[in-house]
Chains A and B, each alone.
Chain A
Amino acid sequence: MENMLGLLTNFLTNTGYYMITPGHMVMMVVGMVFIYLGIAKHYEPLLLVPIGFGILVGNIPFFTGLGLGIYEQGSVLSLLYKGVTTGVYPALVFLGLGAMTDFSSLISRPILMLLGAAAQMGIFITFLGALALGFDLNQAASIGIIGGADGPTAIFISAQLAPNMIGTIAIAAYSYMALVPVIQPPIMRLLTTRKERLIRMEEPRVVSKKEKMIFPIVGFIICCLLAPAALPLLGMLFFGNLLKEAVVTERLAETARNAVIDTVTILLGVTVGASTQADVFLKWDSIKVFILGALSFAVATASGLIFAKIMNLFLKDKINPLLGAAGVSAVPDSARVVQVVGQEEDPTNFLLMHAMAPNVSGVIGSAIGAGVLWSFIG
């Protein structure tokens, strides 16, 4: 009898119910909020649902030494997490992204690419902000990439420079990416006049198939010669796009934009979520990262808008400055936000296809920015 009682006591003290701490509970609530936002509010559901569930997985308390936790050598979660820490998942996400993206709008009006460059100011101002708040160079560079609004790039660069911060940075980046429809519109309305928001864009010219096929090769060579550190990300992005545009490799493109990216998104989301264990995540530094993340999104959006207004001083055919907000590389969310804010003023003004140009150039710009910071510090 005593033996049975001992076994039962031993079992009960080994359960999560016994070991759970307030920190775990807070993180579980955070995980549930992510799942709620994904399912009920449709904010980036493909990312927030796996990340939210990953947070639940990562915050079930257990005895260390059983080989269960994501930070324990040889555990299933740690093996899956290697895709994050080695930078494999972000590169594969870029492959799928390239195979999905149509660069026509950007090829037809390349000048809009500069808006994608302007929005990258968010990266460098956040980098400075992080340094000012006491983070070291590696951490500051990783935090800065949140301003690129590019989750995979933020994870990639954190894995290289500040592996202990991957979870925090990824959660901050994806949270703000999901909140693009909430964060951007007030800034867009504040920095533009009604007259500017009503500007109609010229119809883009038709882009030939040959141009679309040559673009990924030219883009890859120009960008990667300039910032070779961006090779894993931009190489995969342009390669994926070449598979899409080459027509003869449609089967590979189909796999990249469906099976590959879906599998990687699941693994990336769950493992990044699971990496946010309460003892690792609930720190003052995480709060600072979230504050800097919000700042970086605001700065990136404002930089794009202001640069568009500056361009209008010199351009004969004015561009709608709202497009500047799409330079934030949350694809295609920020382009959609531009469309929504533009249509609030004029329901017959369709800005989406124009906004895709700065949007995809923002992806290229943030990868170059990440490569540049990595080469400065790495």
Chain B
Amino acid sequence: MGFDAITNQNGWAMALVGVSIVFSGLLILSLSIAQLHKILDIWEKKGDVYKKIVEKREQKAKKVQAYKDLTVTEWLEISVKQFNILVQAMDDPFALPVLLDVAQKRGLHRPHSALTEFLKIELIIPDGNGYYRWDKRVFRNILKKGEGQ
């Protein structure tokens, strides 16, 4: 009887460990359930992620193909070099109308056609905020291809 009976039958330890196990069990369950909807969200959006990866790959393949198909004419090579000088003097990113304006003022040959071609071959790429960037890698490749042709 009394506290001695509890001590003799190891009651204190059983109660303490028992309570801890119940708490741990429900705590683990609670933490797991709290993450469940987040995991499900990722799982449900897996289609979108896959779609984005495929789109990116296709874009890259298109770009490679466009570059392979590109014939670097004398006019294109000169235009690329001239525009490169203009772009270096401008802010990065730059506004396309400003570049066009500068090119016209400097008397560059067919600036509209040149910019359209640059956008097609992704020498000029939009930054998503209404401005554009000059892709130096594409610029170097064009020059290299021009030398090869």
A binding-site residues for B, Cβ under 8 Å: 106-107, 110-111, 113-114, 116-118, 120-121, 123-125, 127-128, 131-134, 136-137, 140, 207-208, 210-211, 214-215, 218-219, 222-223, 226-227, 361, 364-365, 368-369, 372-373, 376
A364 to B28, CA, bound (A): 13
Contacts of A131 in B (CB 8 A): 5-6, 9, 11
CB–CB A124/B15 < 8 A: yes
Contacts of A137 in B (CB 8 A): 9, 11
Can you sample 12 A-B contacts with CB below 8 Å? A110-B30, A113-B26, A114-B23, A114-B27, A120-B19, A121-B19, A140-B11, A214-B36, A365-B26, A368-B22, A372-B21, A373-B14
B3, B11, B17, B33: most-surrounded residue (chain A CB, <10 A):
B33
Contacts of A140 in B (CB 8 A): 9, 11
A-facing mask of B31-69, CB < 8 A → 1, else 0? 111101100100000000000000000000000000000
Contacts known (A134-B1, A372-B18, A372-B22); A364 close to B29, Cβ less than 8 A? yes
| A5 CB to nearest chain B CB (Å) | 56
Confirm or deny: B128 has a beta carbon within 8 angstroms of a beta carbon on chain A: no
A132 to B9, CA, bound (A): 10
Contacts of A123 in B (CB 8 A): 18
Contacts of A125 in B (CB 8 A): 15
Contacts known (A121-B19, A210-B40); A364 close to B26, Cβ less than 8 A? yes
| A110 CB to nearest chain B CB (Å) | 4
Closest to A113 in B: B30
Contacts known (A107-B36, A368-B25); A124 close to B19, Cβ less than 8 A? yes
Contacts of B18 in A (CB 8 A): 123-124, 127, 369, 372-373, 376
Confirm or deny: B2 has a beta carbon within 8 angstroms of a beta carbon on chain A: yes
| A148 CB to nearest chain B CB (Å) | 10
Contacts of A364 in B (CB 8 A): 25-26, 29
| A155 CB to nearest chain B CB (Å) | 19
Confirm or deny: B24 has a beta carbon within 8 angstroms of a beta carbon on chain A: yes
**Given B2, B28, B40, which contacts A226 in the complex, CB threshold below 8 Å?**
B28
Closest to B19 in A: A124
CB–CB A208/B40 < 8 A: yes
CB–CB B11/A114 < 8 A: no
CB–CB B28/A114 < 8 A: no
Contacts of A106 in B (CB 8 A): 33
A12 to B16, CA, bound (A): 58
| B96 CB to nearest chain A CB (Å) | 45
Contacts of B2 in A (CB 8 A): 132
Confirm or deny: B131 has a beta carbon within 8 angstroms of a beta carbon on chain A: no
Q: Which of B45-102 contact A (CB under 8 A)?
A: none
CB–CB A110/B22 < 8 A: no
B2, B6, B30, B37: most-surrounded residue (chain A CB, <10 A):
B30
CB–CB B27/A117 < 8 A: yes
A136 to B5, CA, bound (A): 9
Contacts of A210 in B (CB 8 A): 40
Q: Which A-B residue pairs are the 6 nearest by beta carbons?
A: A110-B30, A124-B15, A117-B26, A113-B30, A110-B33, A131-B11
| A286 CB to nearest chain B CB (Å) | 18
A227 to B1, CA, bound (A): 30
Closest to A129 in B: B6
CB–CB B21/A227 < 8 A: yes
| A334 CB to nearest chain B CB (Å) | 17
Contacts of A222 in B (CB 8 A): 25, 28-29, 32
Contacts of B31 in A (CB 8 A): 110
CB–CB B1/A218 < 8 A: no
| B46 CB to nearest chain A CB (Å) | 13
A373 to B11, CA, bound (A): 11
A2 to B23, CA, bound (A): 74
Contacts of A133 in B (CB 8 A): 1
A137 to B28, CA, bound (A): 29
CB–CB B3/A361 < 8 A: no
Closest to B40 in A: A210
Closest to A222 in B: B29
Contacts of B25 in A (CB 8 A): 117, 222-223, 226-227, 364-365, 368
A106 to B36, CA, bound (A): 12
Contacts known (A131-B9, A373-B14); A113 close to B19, Cβ less than 8 A? no
| A27 CB to nearest chain B CB (Å) | 28
| B17 CB to nearest chain A CB (Å) | 8
Contacts known (A134-B1, A140-B11); A223 close to B29, Cβ less than 8 A? yes
Contacts of B30 in A (CB 8 A): 110-111, 113-114
